[in-house]
Amino acid sequence: MTATAQRPEAGSARRLSRLLERYRLRIDRALVVAIAERHGAPAAIHEAMRYSVMGGGKRLRPILCLLACEAVGGRSSAALDTACGLELIHTYSLIHDDLPAMDDAATRRGRASSHRKFGEATAILAGDALLTLAFELIARGRHPARSLRVVREVARWAGTQGLIGGQVLDLRSQNGHRLLAPPAAGRVPVLDAIAARKTAALMCVSVRAGAIVGGASDAQLRALSRYGEAVGMTFQMVDDLMDGDGYAAVLGRRGTRDRAASHVRRAERALDLVGPRAGTLRALAHRLLDRKT
């Protein structure tokens, strides 16, 4: 594989697209059921929860969870509740990121952000409710001991050591890393720290959660952790290429893409230790690198 990565053949790319779409629809159906279980008074909060959860999205994190479960020999149906819980955590983080005190975003996925649609207070509470519901879903897995381990993992990586910590770093450095400044190697560690926590941590724990539910060995879990970290960093770098900020502003387009490709190579090496069922995870890593930039 070169630094810019080889695109998959058209046929295999189409097969991957169809597979990912089947997983996405499966997750959407499960999310509809999970949200529908919350009804009645107060209706406003349930409406706000549904609005954000069902407002679109690629469902990448829950798909990673299901694929990791299958990669270690588990049945993805056993990880479906966990996968949905991870998507709820991702959605809660988007609601809160969009708030006036954070990014103050007017839109999300092509329509009004939650606080613009329902008001700031309801948006905050909808995010809180989704985070709480996420742990309810994760905790009701078929294997109580595995579910408890996943709860601990997700709580850790969605907290100050991961997602929330990354958001704090992002807010504190907004006057630095988002400036369109000349390339400066000293700013790369700041970007790495933010991306590792804010983006890669949730992707990594999604992979780890699926692997744990699937009964992964310690060696498989370590390898999949490296894979999850690598694809999370790839995702962030390609996002920055698409937006023209972050890594792209510091390293330039070529430097950022080369770095993203190096993470894909890391992901591939990690999967060599997982086993023959990890082929779709491998293809997905290339898919993330090859998003339109």
List pLDDT tens digits, range 72-112: 999 999 999 999 999 999 999 999 999 999 999 999 999 99
Nearest to 126 by CA among 159, 94, 154, 158: 94
Query: What pLDDT shows up at residue 182?
Result: 44
**Whether the predicted pLDDT of 199 surpasses 90:** yes
**Whether the predicted pLDDT of 69 surpasses 50:** yes
Can you tell me the mean pLDDT for 207-216?
98
For 181-184, which contacts have Cβ atoms below 8 Å and span 24 or more sequence positions? 181/249, 181/250, 183/250, 183/251, 183/252, 183/255, 184/250
> What residues make up the domain containing 259?
10-289
Query: What pLDDT shows up at residue 12?
Result: 84
Token digits of residue 237: 């770098």
Residue 74 lies in a domain: yes
Tell me the pLDDT tens digit for each residue of 234-274.
999 999 999 999 999 999 999 999 999 999 999 999 999 99
**Whether the predicted pLDDT of 142 surpasses 90:** no
112 phi, psi to nearest 5 deg? -60, 135
Is the Cβ–Cβ distance between 240 and 274 less than 8 Å? no
Can you tell me the mean pLDDT for 178-189?
60
Token digits of residue 54: 């069902």
Nearest to 31 by CA among 123, 113, 134, 148: 134
**Whether the predicted pLDDT of 138 surpasses 90:** yes
Query: What pLDDT shows up at residue 54?
Result: 94
**Whether the predicted pLDDT of 221 surpasses 60:** yes
**Whether the predicted pLDDT of 113 surpasses 90:** yes
**Whether the predicted pLDDT of 115 surpasses 60:** yes
Residue 151 lies in a domain: yes
Nearest to 163 by CA among 155, 151, 152: 155
Can you tell me the mean pLDDT for 198-227?
97
Is the Cβ–Cβ distance between 206 and 223 less than 8 Å? no
| H, E, C per residue of the chain | CCCCCCCCCHHHHHHHHHHHHHHHHHHHHHHHHHHHCCCCCCHHHHHHHHHHHCCCCCCHHHHHHHHHHHHCCCCHHHHHHHHHHHHHHHHHHHHHHCCCCCCCCCEECCEECHHHHHCHHHHHHHHHHHHHHHHHHHHCCCCHHHHHHHHHHHHHHCCCCCHHHHHHHHHHCHHHHCCCCCCCHHHHHHHHHHHHHHHHHHHHHHHHHHHHHCCCCHHHHHHHHHHHHHHHHHHHHHHHHHHCCCHHHHHHHHHHHHHHHHHHHHHHHHHCCCCHHHHHHHHHHHHHHCCCC
285 phi, psi to nearest 5 deg? -60, -45
Residue 268 lies in a domain: yes
Which residues are CB-neighbours of 145 under 8 A, at least 6 positions away? none
145 phi, psi to nearest 5 deg? -65, -40
Is the Cβ–Cβ distance between 123 and 95 less than 8 Å? yes
Residue 2 lies in a domain: no
Residue 3 lies in a domain: no
Dihedral angle sign, alpha carbons of residues 249, 252, 253, 255: negative
Query: What pLDDT shows up at residue 37?
Result: 76
Residue 1 lies in a domain: no
Residue 5 lies in a domain: no
| Domains contained in the chain, number | 1
Is the Cβ–Cβ distance between 236 and 192 less than 8 Å? no
CATH number at residue 139: 1.10.600.10
Q: What rounded mean pLDDT belongs to the chain?
A: 91
**Whether the predicted pLDDT of 5 surpasses 50:** no
